[in-house]
């Protein structure tokens, strides 16, 4: 009987530790959300480089609009913009707009030279397109250094963020966005960007590679309001 009590007590302590971990990570994520929530809207300018096997797209100027809770629009002034659709953006504010979730501790890592805590976010709403988001959080500076998101419609994609002038707002100076082109439907008309039309075999072969989009932000105009009809 005494042995049973000891085992039961150990199990209770383990359960209490797991609950405490979950509470701690929820508090950390809420702090992050509060920081990002300082940004009600922004207009940003930058340069975007697209590296996708089936697209020839030169480096181009972009303008980006964001408004709470998750409105996001990227306009490229010349050429084409290739980003998976269906709720996928290169903006952490929109991803962190999830209100109901479970936050689980998943270890520690060094990300781009910074100590980070790995936290997995599981949305409670089964209708959410996002199935799982893994955040690599720089707890000291309260910044997200990397995020890996799995969706129902567009597979898994990853964002790496680099910060500088706008870190107090949680806004990156650079975003590197990678995704599996196999999970992305090539839009009609893309052959117009090619030297020669793509065959079905070409498309299948090229879609085995990862796509990569880099955005270097040059300016942000934060909380100044947006022009009507942007979205």
Instruction: Report yes or no on 231 lying in a domain.
Output: no
Contacts 24+ apart (CB under 8 A), 52-55: 52/82, 52/181, 52/211, 52/212, 52/213, 53/181, 53/206, 53/207, 53/209, 53/211, 54/181, 54/186, 54/190, 54/194, 54/198, 54/202, 54/203, 54/206, 54/207, 55/80, 55/82, 55/190, 55/193
- What CATH code is carried by the domain that includes residue 138? 2.50.20
Number of independent structural domains in the chain: 1
Residue 98 reports pLDDT greater than 90:
no
Return the pLDDT at 7: 41
Instruction: Output the pTM of the full model.
Output: 0.77
Any domain includes 105: yes
Q: Give the residue numbers spanning the domain of 213.
A: 2-222
CA 139 to chain centre: 17
Task: With respect to residue 82, please indicate whether it lies within any of the assigned structural domains.
Answer: yes
Question: Residue 229: inside a domain, yes or no?
Answer: no
**Which of 12-21, 60-69, 91-100, 216-225 comes out lowest in average pLDDT?**
12-21
Q: Is residue 89 domain-resident?
A: yes
Any domain includes 201 = yes
Fill in the DSSP letter of residue 186. Answer: P
Higher local confidence (pLDDT), 173 or 16: 173
Picking from 216, 224, 180, the residue whose alpha carbon sits closest to that of residue 88 is: 180
Q: What percent of the chain has pLDDT over 90?
A: 33
- For residue 174, the model assigns a pLDDT of 95
Residue 194 neighbours by CB under 8 Å, 6+ apart: 54, 56
Q: How high is the pLDDT of residue 5?
A: 41
Give the phi and the psi of residue 34 in degrees, each rounded to 5. Answer: -60, -40
Half-sphere exposure of 136 (CA within 13 A, CB side): 18
Domain assignment present for 161: yes
Residue range 195-217: average pLDDT? 67
Least confident of 85-99, 111-125, 149-163, 184-198: 184-198
154-187 pLDDT, tens per residue? 778 899 999 999 999 999 999 998 877 665 554 4
- Please report the pLDDT score of residue 146 as a whole number: 95
Question: Residue 230 falls within a domain, yes or no?
Answer: no
pLDDT of residue 50: 80
**Rounded CA Rg of the chain:** 21
CA 213, 74, 95, 138 torsion-angle sign? positive
Q: What is the mean pLDDT of the chain?
A: 77
pLDDT on residue 44? 94
Q: What is the pLDDT of residue 220?
A: 96
pLDDT at 130: 81
Q: Residue 134: is its pLDDT beyond 80?
A: yes
């Amino acid at each position: 009987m005494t042995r049973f009590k000891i085992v039961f007590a150990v199990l209770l302590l383990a359960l209490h530790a797991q609950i405490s971990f979950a509470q701690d990570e929820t508090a950390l994520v809420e702090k992050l959300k509060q920081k990002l929530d300082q940004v009600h809207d922004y207009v940003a300018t930058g340069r975007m480089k697209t590296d996708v096997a089936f697209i020839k797209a030169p480096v181009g100027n972009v303008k980006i609009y964001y408004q709470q809770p998750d409105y996001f629009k990227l306009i490229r002034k010349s050429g084409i913009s290739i980003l998976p659709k269906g709720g996928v953006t290169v903006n952490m504010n929109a991803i962190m707009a999830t209100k109901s979730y479970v936050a689980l501790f998943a270890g520690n890592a060094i990300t781009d030279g910074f100590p980070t805590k790995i936290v997995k976010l599981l949305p409670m709403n089964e209708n959410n397109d996002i199935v799982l988001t893994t955040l690599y959080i720089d707890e000291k500076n309260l910044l997200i250094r990397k995020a890996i998101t799995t969706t129902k419609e567009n597979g898994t994609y990853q964002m790496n963020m680099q910060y500088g002038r706008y870190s107090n707002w949680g806004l990156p100076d650079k975003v590197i966005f990678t995704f599996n082109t196999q999970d992305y439907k090539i839009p009609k008309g893309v052959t117009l960007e090619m030297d020669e039309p793509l065959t079905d075999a070409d498309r299948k072969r090229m879609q085995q590679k990862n796509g990569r989009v880099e955005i270097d932000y040059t300016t942000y105009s934060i909380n100044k309001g947006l022009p009507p009809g942007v979205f």
